[in-house]
């Protein structure tokens, strides 16, 4: 079984792990209310998704 002769440096280890980071979540602007929302999800502000009301959102401010 092969065994590494030298210890892997911190730089080489971190370069290998550079692709393991979390992906960034992108948000878009809701076309009906203008709030920021995640793509392919119902808007938390107005409860609409693709022009239809899918969530019951109470506006208690």
Q: Tell me the per-residue pLDDT of 5-60, one tens digit each, with 9 for 90 and over.
A: 999 999 999 999 999 888 888 889 999 999 999 999 999 999 999 999 998 888 65
Within a domain: 54: yes
Distances from the Cα of 21 to the Cαs of 8, 14, 16, in angstroms?
20, 11, 11
Cα separation, 28 vs 44, in Å, equals 12
Within a domain: 3: no
Within a domain: 57: yes
Distances from the Cα of 34 to the Cαs of 9, 27, 43, 45, 56, in angstroms?
48, 12, 10, 9, 18
Cα separation, 9 vs 15, in Å, equals 10
Within a domain: 46: yes
Q: Which domain covers residue 35, as residue numbers?
A: 25-61
pLDDT for 50: 92
pTM over 0.95: no
Tokens at 47, concatenated: 């409860």
């Amino acid at each position: 079984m092969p065994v590494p002769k030298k210890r892997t440096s911190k730089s080489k280890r971190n370069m290998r792990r550079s692709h393991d980071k979390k992906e960034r979540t992108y948000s878009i602007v809701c076309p009906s209310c203008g709030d920021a929302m995640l793509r392919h999800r119902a808007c938390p502000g107005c409860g609409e998704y693709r022009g239809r009301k899918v969530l019951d959102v109470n506006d208690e401010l």
